[in-house]
Amino acid sequence: MVLPDLNFSPPEEGIIPEVQNAEGHVQEEQDIQMDDQDVQMGVKEEPVGQRAVRHRKSLSDRDRFAAYIAMHFQCMKNGGKFDRNDKKDIASFFKVDVQIIQRIWKTAMRQLANGLEVDVSCKRKGRCGRKSTNIDLSIVRTIPLNQRSTIRSLAWQLAVSPTTLFRRFTMDLLKRQSNSLKPALKENNKKERLEFCMSMIDERTRGDVTPKFTYMHNMVHIDEKWFYMTKKDRNYYLLPEEDVPIRSIQNKNCIGKVMFLTAVARPRFNNAGNAIFSGKIGIWPFVKEIPAARRSDNRPKGTLEIKSIKVNRAVMREFIIEKVLPAIVAAWPTDDVGQTILIQQDNATPHILPNDQAFKEAVIEVAAKTGLTMKLIQQPANNPDLNVLDLGYFRSLQSLTDRKSPKTLHDFIQGVEKEFDEYEVYKLNKIFLRV
Q: What is the CATH number of the domain that holds 250?
A: 3.30.420
83: CB partners within 8 A, 6+ apart: 1, 74
Could you give the CA distance from residue 50 to residue 48 in angstroms, rounded to a whole number?
6
Domain final residue, candidates 97, 113, 129: 113
pLDDT at 155: 95
Instruction: Report the pLDDT value the prediction gives residue 33, as an integer from 0 to 100.
Output: 40
Residue 131 inside a domain? The answer is no
Question: What is the model's pLDDT at position 386?
Answer: 86
d(CA 409, CA 284): 14
Which of 95, 113, 131 is the C-terminal boundary of a domain?
Answer: 113
pLDDT at 59 (0 to 100): 86
Residue 74 domain-assigned (yes or no): yes
Based on the domain organization, do 250 and 311 belong to the same domain?
yes
End-to-end CA distance of the chain: 80
CA distance 206 to 198: 10
Quick one: 171 and 307 in the same domain?
A: no
> 8 in a domain, yes or no?
no
- In this prediction the pTM is 0.64
Looking at residue 5, its pLDDT comes to: 52
The pLDDT score that the predictor gives to residue 321 is 96
Task: In whole angstroms, give the CA distance from residue 23 to residue 13.
Answer: 25
Residues 95, 41 share a domain? yes
Same domain as 271, residue 407: yes
Please report whether residue 104 resides in a domain: yes
Residue 129 included in any domain: no
Residue 149, helix vs strand vs coil: coil
Spatial contact of 45 and 30, defined as CB atoms under 8 Å apart: no
Instruction: Examine residue 38 and state whether it is found in any structural domain, yes or no.
Output: yes
Is there a single domain that holds both residue 171 and residue 105?
no
Domain count, the chain: 3
Is residue 331 located within the same domain as residue 213?
yes
Identify the domain containing residue 260 by its residue range. 208-434
Residues 233, 98 share a domain: no
Q: What is the pLDDT of residues 47-84, one digit of tens each?
A: 544 555 556 677 888 999 999 999 998 888 888 888 88
Domain assignment present for 11: no
Cα→Cα distances 241→25, 234, 237, 238, 414, Å: 57, 19, 12, 8, 35
- Phi, psi angles (nearest 5°) of residue 305: -120, 150
- Is the same domain home to 148 and 101? no
Q: Which segments in the chain show pLDDT lower than 50? A: 8-40, 48-49
Q: Are 220 and 342 in contact (CB under 8 A)?
A: yes
Residues 255, 168 share a domain: no
CA count, 13 A, side-chain hemisphere, 36? 0
User: Are residues 274 and 334 located together in one domain of the fold?
Assistant: yes
345 and 425 fall within a common domain: yes
Residue 366 placed within a domain: yes
Dihedral over alpha carbons 326, 332, 337, 339 (to 10 degrees): -100
* 107, 250: one domain: no
